[in-house]
Structure 1
Amino acid sequence: MSAIVPMSLLVAVMIGGFIAAKLSLFSDHAESDLSVMITQIASPALILSTVNSAGSLGTKREAMIFLLIAFLLFGLYIPLASLMTRWFKFPQKSLGVAKFLLINNNTGFMGLPVILAMYGEGAMFYAALMNIPTNLFSFSYGAWAMAKHSHQEAKPPSLVKILFSPGFLTSIVVIVFFVFDWRLPIVMADFFSLVGAMTTPLA
C-alpha cells in the first residue's frame, strides 16, 4: 500500500511528459539531449547523493555479497538470453538488440527513480552496486553481441569507455566511501541531492 503513492506520482509525471510531447513542446533533439543529461549528470549525481546513507540497510559483508550475486546473475543472464532468442526465433538482424535487452537492466535510467521512490536512499546504495556489473557487461558483452549480429566487424569495446562511464565511476566512488566509512560534507551532499533530483522527472 505504501508504494502506491510514490508509483502514482511517477506515473503522473510520465503522463505529463507524454502530453507535453503530444503538444510538441519539445524540440526534435529534446529526447536525446535529456537522455544525455540523465546518464551523464543527473543519474551520477543521484548515486553520489546516497554516499552518506550507504550501509544503512546492511553491513559491509552483506554489500559485498550482494555485489558478488550481481556479477553471478549476469553469468546466468547471458546463456539464458541466447536460449530465449533461439526459442522465440528472433531474426538475425535483431538478435544483438534482443540479447542486449535481455541481459541488461535499466538501473541507470528509470530504475533509480523507482527504487528511490519506493525504498529510499538506503536502497539506492545497492542500486549503485548493481550499476557496476551492468556497465561492465553493457560495454563489453552487450556491445560485442550487437556488433556481431549487425553484420559489422565486431570491435573490442574500449576499456576507457567502460571504466570512465559516469555511472560506473560514481558507483565505485560510493563503494570506496562506504568501505572507508567516509562521509560527504552536508553542503556537497545537498548539492548532489538537488542535481540528482532531476533524474526522476527527466527520465
Structure 2
Amino acid sequence: MYGRFLVLFALMITGYILAKKNIFDSHSTHAINRFIVYFAYPCLIVEKISALEMNQETFLNFILTLVLSTLLFYIGYGASYVYGRIRKFPRENANVAEFAMASPNDGFMGFPVALLFFGDMGLLFMLAHNAALNLYFFTLGICMMKRNQTGKPPITGRRLFKAAAELIMNPNILALTAGLILCGTGVKLPVPLKDYFLYIGNVSTPMAMIYIGTSLAKSDFIGIIKNKQIVECSLMKLIGLPLLTYGLVVFLPVSNLIKMTCVLGACFPTAATVPMLAEQEQQDARLGSEILFLSTVLSAATVPLAVQLVSVFI
C-alpha cells in the first residue's frame, strides 16, 4: 500500500523540484490547474462513472453519501469554530483558519486516492463527498469569508440564483451528472470517445500531484512551522476532524464504503479553494495558503496511515 503512496508523493516532489528550477512558473501552474479542474477530471469522471453498473442500491448509497457528507461538513465547521474561539484566534483571520480546518482537498487528492485504493465505486462515493464540499463552499464557506466585512450586501434572490448556478455549472458536477445519466440509462460511449476520455482522464492523477508540488515551492517552510496557529490548524485538519468524523459515522447503519469515504475525505489536507476564496473576499489569503502548505506536507505521513487505519477499523 505504501508503495502506491510513494508514487503519488514522488509525483508531488517532482512538481516541487520543477517549480524550484523555474521549469514551471506561476502562469504554467495556473494553466495546469485549469486543465485538471475544467477538463481532465471531468473526462475521468464521465469515463469511470458511465461504465459502472448502477442499480437502485448504488444510487441510494450515492445520495446517502451526499447527504451525510453535507451534514459532516457543517458539523466540522462548528467544531472548527469552537476550536478557534477556545484558542482565541485573532478575529481578523479566524474565519480563514476555521475554513481551512474544515475544508479537505477531496478533489485533487481525494479522487486519485479513492480510485487507487477503492476502485471505481470508491471514486463514485468520493464524487458525492466532493459535491457536498462544493455545496458547503458556496453556502457556509462564502458566509464565513464575508464574516469580517462591513457593509455586507443583502441576500437577494438574484444572489442566491447566482450561487446555485455556480454550483450546478461546476465542471465536475456537470461531468458527474452526465456520467450518472449514461450509467442509469445504460447508454455506452462510442469506443473512440471512451478511449479519448480514458487517455485524458489518466493524466489527471499525475498532473494533480505535480500541481500540488508546484504550489508548495514558494512557501517558507521554516517560517510556517514557527507559527503556532498554522501548526494547530494543520493538525486539527489532519487529525482532529478525521477523529471526530470517525466517531460520528462508525456506528451508523450504512455501508462500510460510505463510512470509509466520509472518514478518508476528512483526512485530506486543506483545499486550494480556501486561499482562493479568501483572496476573492479580501481576507487573509496568505494564512490559508500557509495552512494549505503545511497540511499538505504533513499529509505525506497522515494520509497513508489514515487509509490503513480506515481499512482496519471500519
TM-score range, shorter chain: 0.7 to 0.9
Tell me if the contact between 1:55 and 1:178 (Cα under 8 Å) persists in the aligned partners. Answer: yes
- Which residue of structure 2 aligns with residue 27 of structure 1? 25
Q: How far apart are 1:7 and its partner, in Å?
A: 0.9
3-state SS of paired residue (1:25): coil
Tell me if the contact between 1:51 and 1:184 (Cα under 8 Å) persists in the aligned partners. Answer: no
Q: How far apart are 1:182 and its partner, in Å?
A: 4.0
Identity of aligned residues (%): 26
- Cα-to-partner distance string for 1:86-143 (whole Å, 9 max, x where unaligned): 1232222222222322332212212112222222223111111112111111122112
Tell me if the contact between 1:81 and 1:103 (Cα under 8 Å) persists in the aligned partners. Answer: yes
Question: Quick check: 1:186 aligned with 2:191?
Answer: yes
Gaps of 5+ in 2: 209-314
Alignment of 1:157-176 (within 5 A): 158-176=163-181
Tell me if the contact between 1:132 and 1:172 (Cα under 8 Å) persists in the aligned partners. Answer: no
Q: How far apart are 1:145 and its partner, in Å?
A: 0.9
Deviating 4+ runs (over 6 angstroms):
none
RMSD of aligned Cα (Å): 2.5
* Matched residues, number: 201
- Which residue of structure 1 aligns with residue 43 of structure 2? 45
- Which residue of structure 2 aligns with residue 139 of structure 1? 138
3-state SS of paired residue (1:201): helix
- Which residue of structure 2 aligns with residue 63 of structure 1? 62
- Which residue of structure 1 aligns with residue 108 of structure 2? 109
- Cα-to-partner distance string for 1:37-90 (whole Å, 9 max, x where unaligned): 221111222222212343589633333322222222123223222212212322
Q: TM-score, normalised by structure 2?
A: 0.57
- Which residue of structure 1 aligns with residue 95 of structure 2? 96
Q: Which moved more, 1:19-28 or 1:144-153?
A: 144-153
3-state SS of paired residue (1:101): helix
Counterpart of 1:47 in structure 2: which amino acid?
I
Higher RCO by CA contacts (8 Å cutoff, separation 6 or greater): 1
**What is the alpha-carbon distance in structure 1 between the residues aligned to residue 149 and residue 38 of structure 2?**
27
Distance 1:23 1:92, change over 3 A: same
Counterpart of 1:163 in structure 2: which amino acid?
I
**What is the alpha-carbon distance in structure 2 between the residues aligned to residue 151 and residue 198 of structure 1?**
44
Distance 1:178 1:32, change over 3 A: same
Distance 1:161 1:195, change over 3 A: same
Counterpart of 1:98 in structure 2: which amino acid?
A
Distance 1:90 1:31, change over 3 A: farther
**What is the alpha-carbon distance in structure 1 between the residues aligned to residue 91 and residue 150 of structure 2?**
9
Q: TM-score, normalised by structure 1?
A: 0.85
Counterpart of 1:117 in structure 2: which amino acid?
L
Counterpart of 1:11 in structure 2: which amino acid?
F
3-state SS of paired residue (2:25): coil
Counterpart of 1:40 in structure 2: which amino acid?
Y
